[in-house]
Chain A
């Protein structure tokens, strides 16, 4: 079936986007409802409208639904967002999952390359919904006190990595007055991490008395701390950090609690002000740890750093000496590409929440039925902001529902037992060999 997107010719060039009527409704919702819930009926109604549109205009998604015996009628009749077939995130590697032809994409985000070969691609026909979805959630979980903080970014600027959804998001946040007050600096560029300049900026911030916000990947931060193991910047109270991404494979993986301790010792940012972000290339919205928002309830967020916290004890911890045995569980692992920010025990108080237009479920991998709270399963997401791709996404992340929040447990790496059969990776590798050429 050929997609018919709002009567446009499939060869229409990028930039001639004519929005689907749902777009305007969603934009209004995002702008007005960032801090409020969305009742189940409203969410279900919107989700089914989005599904109807995607089923009709996204051919690979339709094929996926039909292969599972899910028709437009059967899903609409079920009447709940949970009944909408969730496409596995890996499918973004195999097909152009969009309601518009690939030629009309204004931007395409790609997953990072892995040993498994292909990169997933999430194409956008407009960035309006994506951008509108960023700010409300970020402000709710990082700026609950409505502070405007200069941004120090350890994430590359979007012009350096145009296919990175994280760079795009960070670039957008840095540019927003209500976030950064117009002050933002990027320290990770094509030339690598500018450690000297970053160290100066941290010390300047410390001496200025004005709090700052660090936006980083865990890996970039580990690089910094490896290069400057004795760093003791006492960032002003109220400074905070959003971090994401993984350290796996970098030989720098370290347990979560230890990671937070090192951050506190090196930068003076207490654990309450370190917020993990959970985002995916395949999504348009993000989830965040609630720790800072919860701290702010009735409190003053500038009361962050105890005077004794920074640099007062012991020798500097070298991140490279992290406990590799903990690398598969309980470490600071990928949050943006879909792995967990924390281990089960450490995570007990570090729940994730998202904006009202992003809902999630934890499902049993065998039956795909929802798991009861407390029982681990696979995280499934429904993101209304994914209007022009697929809203229902099945991840491979292991999580558990806890008191209305989501606790990520990460992926159990290397769980598949090995026999003497050729493994998936070996077959893929062979595929690029002489026979597969």
Chain B
């Protein structure tokens, strides 16, 4: 009798475990059970990358098709094909296309900036938007506007300088005793800096009503009404950042293995770290000059990239490109559609998408180590 019962029971358990397998392998997050993990818990980059790029392209298309205005997706599609009304073509080519292009660049810059900062800080929570780097950039721009610096190209440099100062401040707190053991401390220090800078920025707003309108433009993260010329001003520093990142990738990956290991492999940890901070400032500063402070992209995107392909910074950076575009444009498209004909600020949407990731990371039993 007992033996009879045993057989179906084990059979059932085998059934349930086999039915659980596909769902856990389809979502290869960090929590996949050790039993289902064959060799590694991650996917090969060449398998993930095409899919990620395809999804990024779809969000680009969506960004061209949907908007807050009168031109609906069908009209926009016709306009893309070279048909449709004059108005639709104007909206698609003159408004949505530049906006999409800026969104692509900003998404990539923020995601890569976040990934780089996390490696340098050895902290998965190091996110430029949360830690006051973006706030530093927008505060610097606000001060520049108050002082009457009008030249469009200056904004980028000013924002990058502000980002660099914010970056240096936050990174210096990493060196404070205990901060390395407790990644949440870094976020607290960053949040303090961030609120301070936001408060100072609002003070600047009060001082000068004339500059206030222009400053508000920078204080709220948004892709609306940003011109392509701003993008051109970012290109030189973007190019520099790309070159430096390609040069940095190898030593940075070695740095993750430990300071002395990297030195033993012939790298200079201190210099690598300094240049990385410079690159983060270039990227986040330029992104802030383009779209204002946008938080959580630099946190959520690298987190997902690592979960998919492992912690190696070289893979993370590649994957950050399409995933950054996807997250930023998705947030932007939703921001246009929620309360038409007006728009939600982009930062609100990225926070809605990104904050759950932050909570997930903090609540994880064991913080993923970098």
Co-assembled chains A and B = no
List the interface of chain A (C-beta within 8 A of B). none
List the interface of chain B (C-beta within 8 A of A). none
